[in-house]
Structure 1
Amino acid sequence: MTSPRLASRPFVLGFIANFAHSLALHSYVHYSGRLEQLGADELTTGVVLATMAVSAIAARPMLGRIMDAHGRRVVLLVGSAINVVASALYLTVVSISPWLYAIRLLHGIAEAMLFSVLFTIAADVVPPAQRTRGIALFGISGMIPLSLAGWLGDALLQVADYDALFVAATIAAAVGLLAGVFLPDSRPPFDPDAAPSRPFFRAIWSPPLRPLWLIGFTFAVAVASYFAFLKTFVLARGVGSVGSFFGAYTIAAIALRLGFGGLPDRLGARVTLFPAVACTAVCVALLAEAGSDGAVIVAGVLGGIGHGDGDGLVGVYGAIADTDGEVIGAGTLGLGGSPGEYAGGRIDHRAGGCADEAVGEGVGGNVGVGRAGGEGERGAFVDGLGGDGGEDRGGVGADDHGQAGGG
C-alpha cells in the first residue's frame, strides 16, 4: 500500500499562499527607512513597529477556537483580504499620525491570522507519517521570502521610492489571497472524546512552563531588534545590506532545516533549544559591532542557524498537552516582538545605535537563566520533550516570519 503523497494539492496551494503572504509581510523589514524619511526618531520608530505586534498578540489567543468552530478557510480568506488592504493602505501614509498606527494594528491582525491558519492547514493536510518532514518543508515557504524581500526591497529602493515597495507587497498579498480561494477547508471532524483545552492564560501561567516562556520571550526580543532596525542600521553604518543579511540568514536556516531538521525529535528539545538562543544572541552582538560587509553576512548566518534550530522551541510548544499549545507558543514569541521593537528604539534613541548590542547581551544572559530553570523541578518539562513529548499536532504557531517571525 502506497503512503499518501506529501505534495498534495492543498499542501501546494498552502505553500504558495504562505510564500506570497510571507513575501508581502517581510517586505516591511525596510519600513524603518520609510519612517526615518517621515521624520521619526528611533524611539518613535520602535513604537510604530511594535504596534503591529500588539494587535497580533491580542488576536492570537482566540484564533485556535475560531478555526475549530468555523473552519480554517474563513480565517484564511479574511486574513488574506486584510493583508491586501493593509499593504495598500501604506500608500496613503504621509506622516506619523494615528492613521499610521491604525494601519499597523490592522496589519498585525492579518499577520496573526495568516501564520496561525496556514501552519494549521499544513498540519491538517500533511500525512501523519511525514509530519515532521512536511512541516519543515512547509516552513521553507516562509523562509525564502525573507531573503527575497530583503533583496527586492534593496533593488526597488535603488530605482524607485517606498511606494513601489508597497505596491509590490500588495501584489504579493493578492497572490496569496488568490491561492487561498482555491484551498478547501481542512478542519478535522469533531471528536467528542477529546480532552477539553485549558484556558489560554491558565496555560501561560502554569509553573512548569514559565522558564520556557522566559526563553521564548527573550529569543523573540533579540530577533525583533534586527527585524525592526536593520534597515536604519545599515544606512547609518554604511556596511552590508538588508538583502545580504537576510540572504545569508535564509540560506543558513534552510540548510539547517533540511539537513538537521529531525534533531529535536532524535536528541530532545533541550539539546537544540539553547544553541538556537545562543546563536541568536551572538548574531545580535556581532551585528552591533559589524564594521564590514562580511561581518554582517556572518551575523546573518548565525541568526539563520538560530532560526532554523528554533524548531526546538516550536517542538516544545507543540508538545504542550493542550489544543491551543502551538498558538500559546507562537503568542509568546510574538509577545517578545512588541517590547523588542519598542525597547530597541528606546535604547537606540538613548545610546546612539547600541540597541542590538544591549539586546544581544540580555538574551545571552537569559540562555543561562533558562538553563538554570531547566535544571530545577520547574525545568523538568524540557527533559521529556522532543520525539516523544506530547502529541504531535503539527505547527499551528510555527511562525517562519520574522516576528519572530513577522514582517
Structure 2
Amino acid sequence: MRKSLICISDTPRLYSPSFIAMALANFAAAASFGVFFLFPLVIKAYGGSEADIGLIMGVFALAATLCRPWVAELIDRLGRKHSYTIGSSLMTLLPFVYLALGNDLSDIYLLLLLLRVVHGIGLALCFTACFTYVADIVPPARLNEGIGMFGISGLVGLAVGPSLAELALDRWGEPALFFTASGLAAVGLVCHLPLAETLTRGIVASRVSFFAVLRRPKMVLVSILAVLFGFGLAAAGNFVAPLAAERRIVFVSLYFLCYSAAAVLVRLVGGRLADRFGERRIVPYALSITGCGLLALALVHGQLALAAAGLAAGCGHGLLYPALNSWAIRGEPVAVRGKVTGIYTGALDAGNFSGSVMLGLIGEWFGLPVLFLVAGGALLMGLLVLWRSGDNVCVK
C-alpha cells in the first residue's frame, strides 16, 4: 500500500504539517459553506419570504444534527480522514445540483429541501471529522489553543466565502455563486488527500453508544450551551444579508470580514487562556460578548455600525467555540472522540436549525430588529444555565 505523504509524528507538536494541511482543507470547506450565507438573497430572488429563508437554510442544519450519531460512529470506525473525504466530495459535487433545479421557488421547493438535507450531511462529515482529526494530533496540554488556532482557518474561510460570493453574484449572477462554492470545496478535497489517518487500526472502536456519551453531565451542559450558541449563529449566518438589504447597506460581506477578523485576533492573542484558567471561567465572558454583538445588530443602520457589531460578535465567537469544544473533548479517550465532537457540533447544528426556523418566523411577524434581540438574548440565557449548573459539572 502506498504510504501517505504526510505522516503523524510520534512526538506531537502543535503546528505540524498535518495540522497545516487539514487547516487548509478546513479553510476551503468553510469558505464553500460561507458562500451560502448569501443564498438567502437567491431565495428572495426566487420569490421566497423570511420564513422560507428560515426553513430552507434551517433544514441544512437539521440534517446535520439528525445525522450526527451516524457521522460520529463513522468517524470512530472508518477513520477521520476517510470520513472527511466523503464529506468534501459531497460538498464539491452538490453545488452543481442547485444549478439544475431552476429558479421558481414554488416549483423546486421540495427538491431544494432535499438537496439542503444532503448538503448538510456533507458539511457535518467535514467539520466533525476535521476537528476530531486535530484533537488527535495536538498536544493534550495545548488542546484549547490547538483547536482555537485550527478554527482560525474556518473563520477566515467564513469571511472569504461570502466576499467571493458577493463578487460572483454582482459580476456573473446566481450560477457563479454555485461554481464558487464547488471550486472552494474541491480545494479542500485535494488538500487533505496526502494526510495519514489518525485512527490507528489496532484501536477497537468503543462500544459506548453515542447517546450514552450524550447523557454524561458534562456533555449535557456543553450541549445546552452549544444549542444556544448555534441559535445565535443562525441569526448571523442567515439574516444579516437581508438586514443589510432592507437598510440599504451595500457591502454586506463587511460584517463577515469583521466578524472573522475579530475571532482570529482573539485566538492569536488569547489562544492559551482556557488552557491556563479552564474553559469554565472563559465561557461566561464569551457568551456575554457574543450575545451583545448580536443585540447590537438591531440598532445597525450604516456600514460602520455593521462592522462594529461584527467585531463584537466575532470576539465572543473566537473565545466561545474552542472553549466549548475543548471542554467537551478534554480527558476523553481516542475511541470516543468522534462521538464527543459529533455531540458538540451536532448541538450547534440543532441550535442553528431551531434558530433558523424560529427566527425566520419572528422576522416575518415582528421584523428583523426583534429577530436579533431574540438571538442575542439566547446567548445571554447561557449565563443562567451556567449559574444553575453550579459546581456540579467539572471540566473533566
Secondary structure at 2:293 match in 1: helix
Give the deviation of 1:271 after TM superposition.
1.6
Secondary structure at 1:380 match in 2: coil
Query: What is the count of residue pairs matched by the alignment?
Result: 377
Alpha-carbon distance in structure 1 between the residues aligned to 2:235 and 2:260? 17
Gaps of 5+ in 1: 391-407
Secondary structure at 1:309 match in 2: helix
Aligned 8 A contact 1:280 1:302 in 2: yes
Q: Deviations over 1:377-407 (max 9, x none)?
A: xx521xx32xxxx3xxxxxxxxxxxxxxxxx
Alpha-carbon distance in structure 2 between the residues aligned to 1:185 and 1:321? 19
Asked if 1:373 is matched to 2:388, the reply is yes
Alpha-carbon distance change, 278 to 14 in structure 1, aligned in 2, over 3 angstroms: same
What is the match of residue 340 of structure 2?
A: 325
Alpha-carbon distance in structure 1 between the residues aligned to 2:228 and 2:182? 32
Alpha-carbon distance in structure 1 between the residues aligned to 2:273 and 2:164? 33
User: Could you say what the CA RMSD is over the residues aligned between the two structures, in angstroms?
Assistant: 2.2
Aligned 8 A contact 2:144 2:326 in 1: no
Asked if 1:284 is matched to 2:290, the reply is no
Asked if 1:101 is matched to 2:113, the reply is yes
Q: Deviations over 1:347-398 (max 9, x none)?
A: 011112231122223432x1342132132xxx521xx32xxxx3xxxxxxxx
Query: Map of 1:341-360 to 2, 5 A cutoff?
Result: 341-353=356-368, 354-360=370-376
Give the deviation of 1:269 after TM superposition.
1.6
Aligned 8 A contact 2:147 2:326 in 1: no
Q: Deviations over 1:135-160 (max 9, x none)?
A: 33322111111111222222222222
Deviating more after overlay: 225-234 vs 312-321? 312-321
Alpha-carbon distance change, 256 to 106 in structure 1, aligned in 2, over 3 angstroms: same
What is the match of residue 180 of structure 1?
A: 192
Secondary structure at 2:392 match in 1: helix
Q: Aligned match of 1:55 in 38, 53, 63?
A: 63
Give the deviation of 1:340 after TM superposition.
0.5
What is the match of residue 70 of structure 1?
A: 78
Asked if 1:163 is matched to 2:175, the reply is yes
Return the letter of the residue paired with 1:370: V
Asked if 1:138 is matched to 2:153, the reply is no
Aligned 8 A contact 1:240 1:296 in 2: no
Query: Map of 1:7-406 to 2, 5 A cutoff?
Result: 7-93=15-101, 94-96=103-105, 97-128=109-140, 131-191=143-203, 196=206, 198-207=208-217, 209-239=219-249, 241-310=251-320, 311-319=322-330, 321=332, 323=336, 324-353=339-368, 354-364=370-380, 366-375=381-390, 379-381=391-393, 384-385=394-395, 390=396
Aligned 8 A contact 1:208 1:380 in 2: no
What is the match of residue 394 of structure 1?
A: none
Alpha-carbon distance in structure 2 between the residues aligned to 1:335 and 1:110? 16
Percent identical: 27
Alpha-carbon distance in structure 2 between the residues aligned to 1:189 and 1:357? 49
TM-score under structure 1 length normalisation: 0.86
Alpha-carbon distance change, 369 to 6 in structure 1, aligned in 2, over 3 angstroms: closer
Give the deviation of 1:189 after TM superposition.
4.4
Return the letter of the residue paired with 1:46: G
